[in-house]
Amino acid sequence: MTPSTDRNLALFERARQAIPGGVNSPVRAFRAVGGTPRFVQRAEGAYFWDANGRRHIDYIGSWGPMILGHGHPAVVEAVQQAVLEGFSYGAPTECEIELAEEILALVPSMDMVRLVSSGTEAAMSAIRLARGATGRSKLIKFEGCYHGHADALLVKAGSGLATFGNPTSAGVPPEVAQHTLVLEYNNIAQLEEAFALHGAQVACLMIEPIAGNMNFVRASVPFMQRCRELCTEHGALLVFDEVMTGFRVALGGAQSVYAAALPGFRPDLTVMGKVIGGGMPLAAFGGPRAIMEQLAPLGPVYQAGTLSGNPVATACGLATLREIRKPGFFEALSASTRSLVDGLTTAAREAGVAFCADCEGGMFGFFLLEALPQNYPAVMKSDAARFNTLFHGLLDRGVYIAPALYEAGFVSAAHSQADLAETVEAAREAFRLLRFS
Ligand SMILES: *Cc1c(COP(=O)(O)O)cnc(C)c1O
């Protein structure tokens, strides 16, 4: 394809004139991997077609929401019906209750839920609620976990545990970052030390239970158990950010995975997004009644939204949840994801490429490393140049994975055995490129 006939390139050049970096969310710009972002023309099932009419097998699925694949008929029908009735009212609708009830029925740690429009907004609101409910200001997060781009969360570790964090973005006042303590994921000794020093001031500990924003790293069961115990002991709230894992790794989210290992385990608050909107702007946060009733209009913690509980978005989310709760859905999705991961692992081994991978439900991650990393510094030992060779090797063969090595991948119910086999075959060829790189 020459530059003059490459429509992706032409669109990217045009986009860069009107939109900073040509994109409305930075990772889409391919800065980490180089090359031209694919502009999507349309999508169906497991595929999308780019502006050059090229088909790709899609393992991003809008970064997780498209668990049924693109354009699932039942979801399209629900959205079309909702649109005919009206777009937005700024007044309550029955569909919001139905979606709330559906979520609560599937996630036992939540008695009540509030709907918002993005994961960022949900995480930010959950932190305000935790602060309001506890009367404390400090929060704990972990390096490599992403909770959206609210000021208090764009923070990296300061020097040592006695000091709080520093901003990772220009525009975040240092005073705001100083309420956030950033710890190493899966480091029990450091967690204990942090609570010993600051426990009485901590409003909440926020965690991605299976961290999908540093590719795919599980919190170990003993680490999660200590998070739970220390929060309870010190009166801090344990907040699960399940924006990515909720309704993605299991019907009950990652918390159901930990509850299987730790009987009775539950977080205090849960933040959700991505799958619950089925591809529409919708997210949520929820928890026990006594905490949720601290929210306005009942309680003193203010929170609101013009488009919150939007009728088209709630119809889309509800139709999606009704599909994924059908018997056998997660068993089949997990088996597909597992077979992809096994196929990739075998292909890498045959090519003599260091490779390891993990998955849960419809979410997976892989590393060009000998062993699965347990925290962010270990993830960052991955060789970016080798990842980029693999990424472009796959892209050239019509397989679209995240354009950065610190992002998870997603399989949908629309990915057939043939799609997975085609992906493994493409990977087999791409791994050969790596042997000589
Ligand atoms: C995507 C994501 C967010 C942010 O959600 P947005 O809808 O992009 O604002 C927050 N937390 C986690 C774990 C996420 O994966």
Ligand 1 site, residue 148, Cβ cutoff 6 A: yes
* Ligand 1 binding pocket mutation candidate from 153, 243, 245, 275 (most atoms within 8 A of CB): 243
CB atoms closer than 10 angstroms to residue 339: 17
Dihedral sign for Cα 413, 417, 420, 422, please: negative
Ligand 1 site, residue 147, Cβ cutoff 6 A: yes
Q: Ligand 1 center to residue 147 CA distance, Å?
A: 6
Confidence band, pLDDT 50/70/90 cuts, at residue 29: very high
| Closest residue to atom 5 of ligand 1, CA basis | 119
Ligand 1 atom closest to the CA of 121, numbered from 1: 9
Q: What is the dihedral of CA 335, 336, 337, 341, to 10 degrees?
A: 100
| Closest residue to atom 8 of ligand 1, CA basis | 119
Tens of pLDDT, residue by residue over 133-183, are 999 999 999 999 999 999 999 999 887 777 788 999 999 999 999 999 999
Ligand 1 atom closest to the CA of 241, numbered from 1: 13
Ligand 1 site, residue 412, Cβ cutoff 6 A: no
Confidence band, pLDDT 50/70/90 cuts, at residue 4: confident
Q: Ligand 1 center to residue 377 CA distance, Å?
A: 21
Ligand 1 atom closest to the CA of 274, numbered from 1: 7
Report H helices in 325-416: 329-351, 376-379, 384-396
pLDDT of 436 > 80? The answer is no
Tens of pLDDT, residue by residue over 333-375, are 999 999 999 999 999 999 999 999 999 999 999 999 999 999 9
Q: Are 240 and 272 in contact (CB under 8 A)?
A: no
Ligand 1 site, residue 270, Cβ cutoff 6 A: no
Ligand 1 site, residue 118, Cβ cutoff 6 A: yes
pLDDT of 437 > 90? The answer is no
Ligand 1 site, residue 423, Cβ cutoff 6 A: no
Ligand 1 site, residue 143, Cβ cutoff 6 A: no
Closest CA to 145 of 161, 168, 125, 164: 168
* Ligand 1 binding pocket mutation candidate from 117, 120, 280, 285 (most atoms within 8 A of CB): 120
Ligand 1 site, residue 144, Cβ cutoff 6 A: no
pLDDT of 2 > 80? The answer is no
Rounded CA-CA distance 406/133 in Å is: 34
User: What's the order of all strands across the beta sheet hosting 269-272?
Assistant: 112-116, 283-287, 269-272, 237-242, 202-207, 138-142, 180-183
Q: Ligand 1 center to residue 19 CA distance, Å?
A: 21
CB atoms closer than 10 angstroms to residue 232: 12
pTM metric for this prediction: 0.97
Q: Ligand 1 center to residue 425 CA distance, Å?
A: 32
Tens of pLDDT, residue by residue over 44-57, are 999 999 999 999 99
Q: Ligand 1 center to residue 409 CA distance, Å?
A: 14
Tens of pLDDT, residue by residue over 382-409, are 999 999 999 999 999 999 999 999 999 9
Phi then psi for residue 343, to 5 deg, are -65, -45
Q: Ligand 1 center to residue 60 CA distance, Å?
A: 14
Task: For residue 358, give the 3-state DSSP assignment.
Answer: strand
Q: Ligand 1 center to residue 136 CA distance, Å?
A: 24
Specify the pLDDT at position 254. 98
Tens of pLDDT, residue by residue over 190-222, are 999 999 999 999 999 999 999 999 999 999 999
Rounded CA-CA distance 311/309 in Å is: 6
Active site residues: 146, 241, 274
Q: How far is CA 152 from CA 35, 180, 382, 417, in A?
A: 33, 7, 28, 43
Ligand 1 site, residue 185, Cβ cutoff 6 A: no
Q: Region 93-104: what's the mean pLDDT?
A: 98
Ligand 1 site, residue 269, Cβ cutoff 6 A: no
User: What's the order of all strands across the beta sheet hosting 409-410?
Assistant: 356-360, 363-367, 409-410
